[in-house]
Amino acid sequence: MQTATTASVPAPAPAASNGGTRHILGFVYFTFICYLSIGLPLAVLPPYVHYHMGFSAALAGLVITIQYVATLLSRPWAGRISDRAGAKVSVLWGMGACTASGALLMAASAAMHLTPPRLATWLSLSILILSRLVLGVGESLGSTGSTLWGITSAGPQHTARVISFNGISTYGAMALGAPLGVVLEAHWGLASLGLLTVLIGAVSLALAFRKAPVHAVPGEHLPFTRVFYRVAPHGMGLALGGVGYSVLATFITLFYANRHWGGAALCLTSFGAAFILARLLFIHAIDRFGGFPVAVACLSVESIGMVLLWQASAPWMAFTGAAFAGFGFSLVFPAFGVEAVQRVTRNNRGSALGVYTAFADVSFFLTGPLVGAVLGVYGYSSVFLFALVSVLAALAIAIVLRRLQSKEVQTG
């Protein structure tokens, strides 16, 4: 596989200091494709499995969450591939996995037409689960590889810009994919989602193959445990800071329904618009002020949003709180991420990115059941109080890490 990636392609690109937007977008495009593939079936599969296939709501939820388990478990592996075989290899495998997941989605749809019906349903569900597992691995390989490829090609001084644009690609693709998937399924069935995934995956695979590789940086590769311990504090800050988004995305609809308000979707729109606006306006802030100062400022703003949501007595307060939360959370990932990758040498940055991003996966995976338990005991407002406490804990981590960094500079 590695030999194939270097055949019939231009000479390896140097680690150029090319931090132009077009240059960076040429790499984070592959992240966009990964998350568009994830977004397409996101709003379709739960009702499809529950109502069309006749399985329980819990099993319908499992079909979605099992992808995140695969992503989490494969993150360190994706990082090692990026470091040792090269980021291009990781992206090629990631695009291939996304393409395969689309083909499996088409197969799952076709299996529903077999006989006997009960056997066909279980076969279809098994193929669906396999599709989700393959897609989870594709997410790890594609997003980790494309981020490292962009950082290595643009130059380490543009790490913050690459990670920032990578985040815009992630959330933009999810926002586009979910409604598009609903429309496609309504008109042409589940197979149409698989077909589109195959098409965009195959085109992206061809584009990745044609791009010049940036070879893996030679040097000693740290054991996973050493990378983990160096990155873990930054990952904890990310995980706790991400609880606000996870709670908002998961429970805002129920929160609005409990208060008999309309327009819950506007909160998510408000969050997303503020998130992208902040990334575009302050994309250079991390380069100017450093990751930890930006993290402190952003988490402070996000905490204001959580307070407004917690105390919301009218829809406008919830809408405003969501906007503050989106604006604040926008740079948390790149702010902690820039500092995380600097804790390891360049030849270990893929592993660092894989471990760091895994903390976000854990946060998104665990927030639902944990906050659901809190909601069951203390009511709907308590979910945002829980998020507020989590964000404040992330703020404390950022402050401590900033002070430790200052002491290292003074004594170094």
8 A C-beta contact, residue 362 and residue 264: no
In degrees rounded to 5, what are phi and psi of residue 214?
-115, 115
Long-range contacts of 257-266 (CB under 8 A, 24+ apart): 258/380, 259/380, 261/315, 261/318, 262/315, 263/315, 263/319, 266/315, 266/319
- Contact between 44 and 190 under an 8 Å Cβ cutoff? The reply is yes
Residue 124: both structure tokens together: 């279809």
Q: What pLDDT, on the 0 to 100 scale, is given for residue 412?
A: 60
Q: Which residues contact 6 (CB under 8 A, 6 or more apart)?
A: 12, 213
Q: Which of 321, 139, 173, 168 is nearest to 247 (CA)?
A: 321
Q: Residue 298 and residue 335: Cα distance in Å, rounded? A: 9
Residue 255, Ramachandran bin (φ over 0: left; ψ between -120 and 50: alpha; else beta) = alpha
User: What does each C-alpha distance from 108 to 34, 60, 318, 360 come to in angstroms?
Assistant: 20, 15, 40, 29
For residue 110, what are the contacts with CB-CB under 8 A and spacing of at least 6? 191
Whose tokens are 């703003």? That residue is: 301
Sign of CA dihedral 404, 407, 409, 412: negative
* pLDDT for res 76: 82
Q: Is the pTM higher than 0.75?
A: yes
Tokens of 147: 């981020």
pLDDT tens, residue order, the chain (412 aa): 333 333 344 444 444 446 578 888 999 999 999 999 998 998 788 888 888 898 887 787 778 778 888 988 888 888 888 888 888 999 999 999 999 999 999 999 999 988 888 899 999 999 999 999 999 999 999 998 898 888 888 887 787 788 888 888 887 887 788 888 889 999 999 999 999 999 999 999 999 999 988 766 666 777 778 888 888 999 999 999 999 888 887 777 778 888 888 877 788 788 888 988 898 888 789 888 889 999 999 999 999 999 999 999 999 999 999 999 999 999 998 999 888 888 887 777 778 888 888 888 778 777 777 877 777 777 777 889 999 999 999 999 999 999 988 887 777 6
137 φ, ψ (degrees, to nearest 5)? -65, -40
DSSP 274: H
Cβ atoms 81, 93 nearer than 8 A: yes
DSSP output for 296-362: HHHHHHHHHHHHHHHT--SHHHHHHHHHHHHHHHTTHHHHHHHHHHTTS-GGGHHHHHHHHHHHHHH
Q: Which of 27, 333, 302 is nearest to 160 (CA)?
A: 333
DSSP for residue 50: I
Compute the distance between CA of residue 330 and CA of residue 324 in angstroms, rounded to an integer: 10
**Cβ–Cβ < 8 Å for 102, 219:** no
Nearest to residue 104, comparing CAs of 63, 50, 59?
Answer: 63
Identify the CA nearest to 45 among candidates 28, 25, 30, 62.
Answer: 62
pLDDT computed for residue 216 by the predictor = 63
Contact 310, 374 (CB under 8 A): no
CA distance 318 to 255: 10
Which of 233, 384, 392 has its CA nearest to residue 299? Answer: 392
